[in-house]
Structures are given as C-alpha cells and as structure tokens.
A and B are shown apart, each in its own frame.
Chain A
C-alpha cells in the first residue's frame, strides 16, 4: 500500500502527519521524504542513515571535432539546453531535462552521454521504520528527476509488499506534487482551516482528484480561521479523517522536533483513526 501525504499550502503539517502516521502504523512501514527541495522528515524521525548515494541525470556532451553544425540537436531541444551559434555548438547542462533526443538525432555521433548531479539519495532506519529521502543539490532547478530516482529505489525495495509506504510530498499542486501523488493508492490531504489553507487545498484537490484515488483530509490547527474547508468537504463528499486541534503546546512540541503523538499522547487515538480510515479506503 502506498500512501501520499500531500497539501496545496506549505507548512500545513504534512511532515508532522507523515512522522506520526509512520510511528503509529500497525504493519511494517517505510517513510519516504519526497520533498527533495526542503526535506524535513529526518528532523522528526531521527533515522540512522546507512547509505547515501548521488543521483544523476543524463545530459549530452559535445565533441566539436565531430560536429558538422547541422543543427538537428538544437532544433529538437525544447528546453534551450543546446544551441548552435555560427559553427559553435553550446550546451547548457542546467537546462537539460535528460530526454536523450539530441543524442538520438545527431547524425555523426558528436554528442555522447554525460551526467549532471541532481542531489543525494539517503536511506536508513528509525526504530522499525525504514527511512528514505532525496535531497536536491543546491542550485539544481528540477526536482521530479530526483524524486523519480527515490521512488524507483523505494518501489523496487518493497515490490513484494513487505512494507507499506508513506510518501511525504512536496507542497503545491504543480509537477513535483503530482509526481509524488501519481503512484499512490491513497492521498491524505493536510490542510488548515484558514483562507490561505482553503484556497491552496482547493487547487490541490482539483489537481489530485483526476487520479480518482481514495482521498481524505486531515484538518490541522483545527479551531482557528473559518469554516470554508469543512463546507467544501461536505459539499464534495470528501471525508475528514482527522482533526488536530490548534493548541500552543502542540506547536511547541513540534518546534522541538518531536513526533507529535509521542509528545502529546492525547493525539494517539486521532492517528489510530486516521490509519484505520486510510486502510479501509484502500481496501474498499
């Protein structure tokens, strides 16, 4: 079972929910940080990291001696990563999406495969929880390629269903968030009942509902703001699986890097119910 914990707005509590859900899961589980731009899950699960490797994307390398300046590569490239200026072929490695098209269309073999570092992939354990994360290299613009490498590692490691997988997704509703949600069996949307939270929640709901997966909501900081999130959920038959009340001591516990159900034991039943609701929705 693959569960994506997502949200439109950042800072609504995705990582808090992922960490507590993993800590309260009743089967072998892997917690995976796919927010590769700003991964934070390790700050709460404090995993022992047992392996780190670099992730790469394939980019072209030009051999000027073999280039006949035909321009086929530059004409094909949609990402301004390769240009022919006069008789000089220029590559812009940071712009390349790694489609391999330029190398495929080059008639003389003047373009060969090189690589660009995307960032790191780390894995380890936190108690019984298997832990995985991607961390984007500072200055790297594209996160889906690194996210795909992390997903590939995780999905092949637990192909035999030996562990359920909880994905901590990046915020927003554009390509990185969609990349995280697309393979999940179930989506947990974390929101807060404020005008900002509600606006971004609607965008995320619209982006993810096209997948037609079971989806439920966690309302974090319940009690503040207004009722728009609740009204929208009622109107669209979106189940609210959990509410985490807004209390200063919960916010303070979060600020120390604690798993929320360990710091505030009264939240344990909330996460028990959330876990059951997720499992029932997937098995329904």
Chain B
C-alpha cells in the first residue's frame, strides 16, 4: 500500500479541494482526514459513521483545596504559568496546564489530582469514495499529534482488512506537531500551493520539512492563473529543488459552488475533472 498526504504549509491553499478530487478519481483507497483541529473533508464526502470512539489523551492537574497548605511550591515550579494565585487560593488554569505532572509530584501535601482528559473523538465512516477515518479534536485541546498518529494507525488497519492499495490523507496546515506526525509512513507528500507570496514562502518551508524527514514531495499549483508571474516563480523553485509539478489548477468559481453542493469539484465541473484527471495520474506516477 502507498500512503499519499496532501499538505500545503499555508492554510486555505486548497488541500481539501484537491483531496476531494483525488478521492473521487482514485480507486480502492482508504481516506483519512488528518486535520483533526479543523477537519473539512467530511463536508464534501458526507460520511455515514459506523464507529464512534472517544479520544482520551494527556492529563490535567487539579488542586484539592481542602488539602492545599498554601505553600506555593506548585506556583514556583510550574513553567507554563498554569497555577493562579488569587485571594490566597492556588488553582490550576486548565487552558494553560500542559499535564506535565510536576505540581503533582512535588506537592508536599499531595494535594494535586491528575486525571486523564477526553480531548476529542474519532470515527470510521463509509463515503461514496470509500472508507474514511476521521476525527474532531475538541476546541482548545492539545495532543493533535497523538490523534493524528492514532488515525493513521486505524486507517492502516482498515486498509489491511479491505486490501486497499492507497491511503489518501488530507493534512493540517503549518509545519508543526500535527503535520510532523502525519508525515510518519508517508510515501509521497502532495504540496498544494497558490501563486502568492505566502503560497511560495509556505511551500518552501513545508518542502524543507519533508526534506528534513526524507519524505518525497510533488506540487500542485492551485489558482495558477491568479498571478502567472508568481506561478512561474513557483515552477522555477520546484525545478531547482527537484520537486515535480503534478499540475496546475485554474482559479474557478466551481470550487465554492461544488463545496456548497457538498460535491468534489471533479463531480461538479467537467473542466476541473479533466484538469485533476491528469494531475492524479501524475501523482500516481511518482509512487
């Protein structure tokens, strides 16, 4: 099985639009939405859940006021400014607590509880494009990297069970924790970019990240006709660095119109179908 990950560095470059088109065009594929913080692939694929799991990860400290001796050790030790001291009372700010356990271990009165957190949920679903493994991290939560790793493992299990040839994953924006986690096991990263200064800048960084972890990448230039000079700049960057350009996608109203209809853009518009058909074949040829 081959694992393909669609990422972009920059948010809003068109990752989910591209993943939706690939999902429509591909065969025998297990789908995975690894943007667990702001997942959007389900809005196109309209999954029917057949499994629902809670995601428990990381701990949260809580001071038992009746046992606290007000010594202030926790306040001194916490590196995350998560201990508040107001009106003579020490308490943990759950928004700032990293769950490091330092206050629990060093409290002389053993007055700090440490409980596992429910940070989100994850699902297995059926879609018209095939099986989908996806999740939703609860707002403001941490541990997105762990949830991404879990989703990929679960998607691999489903793939083995059903004999899928390809794991196609929609990734998160950025180059941090969830993206690094999603690179593990990836055979090919598809970088979606746009011809803007941000698009190129962020492509350079996400491509450097993949080089760092020795993951092969190719490029899709979305909205290429918005600024053809910039598109040429991106193409010369790709040529210099040895990233194949799998194709260009025009700036088209069909993208939003398809989204509103809950369709992949290739299901909605024949010009886009033709464009993505070529791009998907180029992507497969990189494997």
Contact = CB atoms under 8 A, between A and B. Distances in A.
B102 A140 contact: no
Interface stretch (B134-142, B157-165, B271-279): B134-142
Contact of B102 (A76, A173, A255): A76
Contact of A255 (B181, B195, B202): B195
A15 to B, nearest CB: 7
B256 A194 contact: yes
B10 A194 contact: no
A251 to B, nearest CB: 6
Report the interface size class on chain A.
35 or more
B208 A195 contact: no
Interface of A: 8-12, 15, 35, 37-38, 40, 43-44, 58, 76, 78-79, 97-101, 104-105, 136, 138-143, 170-176, 178, 182, 194-196, 199-200, 203-204, 206-207, 210, 224-226, 248, 251-252, 254-257
Contact of B176 (A98, A143, A248, A257): A143
B260 interface: yes
Contacts of B201: 38, 40, 43
Given A38-B174, A139-B212, 12 more contacts: A8-B38, A37-B174, A40-B201, A100-B77, A101-B101, A136-B175, A138-B212, A176-B176, A178-B95, A194-B260, A195-B43, A255-B226
Interface in B114-165: 137, 139-142, 144-145
B196 interface: yes
A210 B96 CA distance: 13
Contacts of A79: 100
9 contacts: A11-B13, A38-B206, A97-B98, A136-B175, A139-B180, A142-B176, A175-B142, A195-B260, A200-B38
B12 A138 contact: no
Given A138-B209, A173-B139, A196-B40, A43 B198 contact: yes
Which one of B139, B196, B213, B230 has the greatest number of beta carbons of chain A within 10 Å?
A: B139
A174 B137 contact: yes
B251 interface: yes
A138 B95 contact: no
Interface of B: 9-13, 16, 37-38, 40, 43, 58-59, 77, 79-80, 95-96, 98-102, 105-106, 137, 139-142, 144-145, 172-177, 179-181, 194-198, 201-202, 205-206, 208-209, 212-213, 223, 226-227, 230, 251, 253, 256, 259-260, 262
Contacts of B212: 138-139
Contacts of B198: 15, 38, 40, 43
A40 B10 contact: yes
A139 B209 contact: yes
Contact of B227 (A8, A210, A255): A255
Closest 3 CB pairs of A and B: A10-B11, A11-B12, A207-B139
Contact of B139 (A10, A104, A203, A225): A203
A9 B40 contact: yes
Nearest to B35: A172
A37 B40 contact: no
Contact of A78 (B13, B100, B195, B260): B100
B176 A207 contact: no
A264 to B, nearest CB: 15
Nearest to A75: B105
Contact of B100 (A99, A139, A225, A257): A99
A170 B206 CA distance: 15
Contacts of B177: 141-143
B100 A101 contact: yes
Contacts of A248: 226, 251
B256 A225 contact: yes
Contacts of B102: 76, 99-101, 104
A97 B260 CA distance: 41
Contacts of A104: 77, 102, 105-106
A134 to B, nearest CB: 12
Contacts of A173: 37-38, 139-140
A136 B140 contact: no
B37 A252 contact: no
Contacts of A182: 95-96
Given A38-B202, A173-B139, A12 B259 contact: no
Nearest to B105: A76
